[in-house]
Structure 1
Amino acid sequence: FSDPATRIENRFELAKVIEAWMAEQDSDDAVQKILEDGRIPVAPILEVEEAMAHPHMIQRETVRTISDRSIGEFQVPGMPLRFSEFPGHLPLVAPYLGEQNAEVLSEYLSMSPEDIAKLESEGILGSEPIPD
């Protein structure tokens, strides 16, 4: 298994060898430490709940707590990558159906309040009640 081509050719046998070696170790953490000490990139595969609670994800603010007007606060996965020209956090509050109708139609289509009201009265525009 000394080169990539041989490893690919023998991948199923190689997987058995690696799995047998891993089974001999005391824990997943021990496997990870041995591989890291050998400068082999390694990381556990986490369930969503584990990833959301992982200290690294929390410290990097990859996990975000948002407040929804209907259901309250909850956590969501955020953007794991950081770019110098990109804002750190985009707002994560979704508008209600029709909440931004007037703003969008007046700003981008130059519609008057009367024209917007007519579309609403004719049932062309829809909206839902916004809870207090």
Structure 2
Amino acid sequence: MIESAAEFRELRESDDPERYNRAATENASLATWTAIVQSMPDMRFWVAHNKTVPASVLAALASDPDANVRHMVAQKRKIDPATQRLLASDTDTAVRCALARNAKLVPDVLDMLSHDTGHMVRDAVLQEHQLPAPRLTGE
């Protein structure tokens, strides 16, 4: 278990693959995740990358100013419906595309993304979720 923000940074920056991989796979307490997010902005992407990070931390990271962090969050299957809805309205097309490829989308988010203004987002929804192409008005 990762015990502190400092330990997380040390693991993430390690040249030893075994230690480096611990940053992506080991659990930490909610207090530790919160400390990392609050004190180490450069580690937020790697917090979102971790396989055990709680959905509540991912929800907080969904509003991160860094689109790369939001992109990583959008890929996580465990994000809750409110986080999905937030990311479905993201200004960054790549974030919405990543979300569109998420296999665990709730129906209303899937519908939102299938009508997205970006064709790449709509195409990702159709491809990933095997939906029929929506009919355009006036067809």
Per residue, is there more strand in 1 or in 2?
A: 1
TM-score, scaled relative to structure 2: 0.29
Per residue, is there more helix in 1 or in 2?
A: 2
